[in-house]
Structure 1
Amino acid sequence: MEHVYYGGMDGPRYERGTGFLLARMGSLTARSWTAFLAAHDLTQGQYTVLFTLKERGSIGQGRIAELVAVDARNIVTVIDALARRGLIERRADDTDRRRRLVALTEAGTAVVQDIAAAAAQEQDVFLNPLSHAEREELNRLLTRLYETHVSSG
Structure 2
Amino acid sequence: MTSKLPNTSRSLPIALIRAREGVMFPIREMLTKTGITEQQWRVLRVLSEFGALDTSTLANRASLLFPSLTRIATTMRNKGLISQKRDDKDRRRQIITITEAGQKLIDDYTDQSAQIVVGFRETLGDKNYEQLLDLLEQLDPGSKQPRA
How does the TM-score come out when normalised to structure 2?
A: 0.69
Question: What is the aligned length?
Answer: 131
Residue from 117, 120, 134 that aligns with 2:114: 120
When normalised by structure 1's length, the TM-score is 0.68
Deviant stretches of 4+, over 4 Å: 21-26, 148-151
Structure of greater Rg:
1
RMSD: 3.0
For the pair 1:87 / 2:77, whether they are aligned, the reply is no
Partners of 1:38 and 1:47 lie apart in 2 by 11
Structure scoring higher RCO (CA < 8 A, sep ≥ 6) equals: 2
1:47 aligns with 2:37: no
The 3 A distance-change label for structure 1 pair 149 and 114 is same
The letter of the residue matching 2:33 is A
Inter-partner Cα distance in structure 2 for 1:88 and 1:34: 21
CA shift, 1:60, in A, is: 1.6
- State whether residues 82 and 96 of structure 2, in contact with CA within 8 Å, keep that contact through their aligned partners in structure 1: yes
Residues in 2 aligned to 1:63 and 1:150: alpha-carbon distance in whole angstroms: 16
- What is the deviation of 1:137? 2.0
Matched residue, 1:107: 101
1:1-153 mapped onto 2 (5 Å cutoff): 26-124=20-118, 126=119, 130=122, 135-150=125-140
**What stretches of structure 1 of length at least 5 have no aligned partner?**
1-14
